Amino acid sequence: MDLNLAGFGPGVILIPVLLGLTALWVGALVSIARRARGMSGLEVIGWCALVVFAQFIGPIIWFLIGRDRYAPPYVEDQP
């Protein structure tokens, strides 16, 4: 199978996919960290482990199921 794609090579497909997966992974970890106050320590470790070790499905599970279980971070209004 030729993946040359007009002289650019397989990186023309692989790099955007990897960047997208990295953004999904980092976004999930940041979201978990922002909601950590509403979770126990074991829950935080469990969600982070799921996101890190199941690198594609873990963040999707967090955004679809886990994120709604915990309150968003409380922000005080500044006068």
**pLDDT (tens digit per residue) in 26-35:** 999 999 998 8
The answer to whether 63 touches 47, Cβ cutoff 8 Å, is: no
Largest CA distance in the chain: 63
Nearest to 49 by CA among 37, 61, 38: 61
Q: In the prediction, which pLDDT does 36 show?
A: 85
Give Cβ neighbours of residue 19 (< 8 Å, ≥ 6 apart).
none
Q: Percent of the chain, pLDDT > 70?
A: 75
Q: Percent of the chain, pLDDT > 90?
A: 37
Nearest to 65 by CA among 79, 55, 51: 51
Integer Cα distance of 28 and 22 in angstroms: 10
